[in-house]
Structure 1
Amino acid sequence: MKNALKILSILFLSILMFSMKQDKPTKVIFFGDSITQAGIGPGGYITKMKEMLEKQGIKSKYQLIGAGIGGNKVYDLFLRMEDDVLAQNPDVVVIYIGVNDVWHKTSHGTGTDADKFTGFYNAIIKKLQSRGIKVICCTPAVIGERTDNSNAQDGDLNYYSGLIRNIASKYDCPLVDLRKEFISYNLKNNLQNKESGILTTDRVHLNDTGNQFVADLMMKAILK
């Protein structure tokens, strides 16, 4: 009799713990720069994702957290990863970085060389994956929306996006290829070859259409 009660107690506790685990929302942290920092504001891509989840009736299943800081480069993410990401015990981390690593080479003289960019990016993924965290990688989108390859940083953006694609493949990480998607969108919708105003406000930061565009792409990766 005592053994039967003991078995029933263990079974009940197991069912209870499983139920609690099932009810726990998937915690997703978006790790990046000013684009992600703005993503949690009104009309930002993370805010739009929360609204999309609510419309689908699955808002309680996901907890979306923005961890973006303006001006950040890949080594900034590495340095603050412990406090801003790992301390929160996320299930998924979306890495959206690279614009400043390229842009600041000419604007501030403080960009990130390709070998250092790859080294820090690799280290971030290794650390996250060692904690059992799923990592989603994103390529940097644009620094200028002209479609004739006349944006000053097009060459570097394409190169660094290639680096991220290779890293994502190496570590078996899902990829949100914003670089590819933004170029494709602009080729169809930027017929006047404008520098900004299609998906961005200032060649880099997202306007309302851009925030929705990124939200849609991110959502596919998260739900998948």
Structure 2
Amino acid sequence: MHFDDNDTLLFIGDSITDAGRDRADAASLGNGYVREIARTLRNRANAGRSATPGGMPRVVNKGLNGNRVYDLASRWTADVTDLRPTVVTVKIGINDTWRRYDRGLPSPVDEFEACLDRLLSDTAHTLAARLVVITPFLLPVTPEQEEWFEDLLPRTEAVLRVAHGNGAEVVRADEVLRRAAQDREAAELAPDGVHPSPLGHRLIADAWLTTVGSRTPDRLG
């Protein structure tokens, strides 16, 4: 898909999307996959500007550390609907799993699914926006994290059901990172099993661009 300066690409989610952005600066994209996507789109726009004028889409990062799906729901109107984006990308779910194990704070999969479904359904009816969902993922670096899959796998299936039910495109970050971990140490991609390294973020960005932006991924070093 070709994006231009009429497009607003909005990304919302947890710390993986946040990636250290400056919340006092609306233009801050953090240091993760959102910045990598914006950088690639900017380079593409600059390279093609003389032949095909169109401009660079606006990119907005609304990730917040620690968010679960219910936190997204509480700020969806202000952080998504009111900004009238043309593409909405949601990356959520790992904290809904993680909080069960580190704080005893459950997020039942059926309630999680219903909440995410309401957000995407309401957005589809309110905005003429393209919907994109990035699946949650985990690359265990401790034996304890292996137990999380009991909660995360059915949650990922719920994310897929909601995405397909609302006509959203799906970026399978779980599969992309799992394949990459066959040739690399998990900690090289996500040092704590959850938060991606620069390489992990680049892989997610490439997966998004391949799914949504029709590009050839950069060569990895």
Using the size of structure 2 for normalisation, the TM-score is 0.81
The answer to which structure has the higher helix fraction is: 1
Post-superposition shift, 1:29? 0.8
Distance 1:127 1:105 in 2: 28
Runs of 5+ in structure 1 lacking a partner? 1-21, 191-195
* CA distance in 1 between partners of 2:160 and 2:178 (Å): 16
Q: How does 1:123-138 map to 2 (within 5 A)?
A: 123-131=118-126, 132-138=128-134
Give the whole-Å Cα distance in 2 for the aligned partners of 1:98 and 1:46: 18
Displacement of 1:149 after TM fit?
10
Tell me the matched-pair count: 197
Which one of 170, 175, 199 corresponds to residue 180 of structure 1?
175
- Contact 2:139/2:178, CA 8 A, preserved across alignment: no
> Aligned pair 1:152/2:147, yes or no?
yes
Q: Does 1:55 align with 2:43?
A: yes
> Given the two structures, how large is their TM-score scaled by the length of structure 1?
0.80
Higher Cα radius of gyration: 1
Per the TM alignment, residue 153 of structure 1 is displaced from its structure 2 partner at its CA by 0.8
1:198 — aligned with what?
Answer: 188
Cα distance in 2 for partners of 1:42, 1:137 equals 19
Structure-to-structure mapping, 1:79-98, within 5 angstroms: 79-98=74-93
Residues 1-224 of structure 1: matches in 2 within 5 Å?
Answer: 24-38=5-19, 40=21, 43-57=31-45, 60-131=55-126, 132-142=128-138, 144-145=140-141, 151-190=146-185, 196-224=186-214
Change beyond 3 A, Cα 1:35–1:23: closer
Q: Using CA pairs below 8 Å that are at least 6 residues apart, which structure has the higher relative contact order?
A: 2
Structure 2 spans left out of the alignment, 5+ residues: 22-28, 47-53, 215-221
- Partner-residue secondary structure (3-state), 2:45: coil
Q: Distance in 2 between matches of 1:92 and 1:150?
A: 33
Counterpart CA distance in 1 for 2:34 and 2:176 is 18
Write the letter of the residue equivalent to 1:164: V
**CA offset digits 1:70-94 (Å, max 9, x no partner):** 1110111111100111111101110
